[in-house]
């Protein structure tokens, strides 16, 4: 079985781990009621609707 001959430096180790960490843009859609931009699976802050139901007071 392969065994490392030298110790991996912390910089090399951290650089390898950081290659898999990618920031993704927020998934924004338009509210079907008021056409305001809303993140997916969230209540619309402008009108208070979620999945065609009034959840909060809204405007």
13 in any annotated domain: no
3 in any annotated domain: no
33 in any annotated domain: yes
Digitized pLDDT (tens) for each residue of the chain, 59 residues in all: 889 999 999 999 999 999 988 888 889 999 988 999 999 999 999 999 998 888 886 55
pLDDT at 24: 87
pTM of the model: 0.53
pLDDT at 59: 58
The total number of structural domains in the chain stands at: 1
Q: Which domain holds residue 42?
A: 25-59
Q: Any residues with CB less than 8 A from the CB of 46 and at least 6 apart, and which?
A: 31, 34, 36, 58, 59
Per the structure block, which two tokens stand in for 40? Answer: 């997916």
**28-30 vs 53-54, strand pairing mode:** unpaired
47 in any annotated domain: yes
DSSP 21: -
């Amino acid at each position: 079985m392969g065994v490392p001959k030298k110790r991996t430096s912390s910089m090399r180790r951290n650089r390898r781990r950081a290659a898999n960490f990618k920031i993704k843009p927020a998934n924004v859609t338009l509210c079907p009621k008021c056409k305001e931009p809303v993140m997916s699976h969230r209540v619309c802050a402008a009108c208070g609707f979620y999945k065609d139901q009034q959840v909060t007071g809204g405007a």
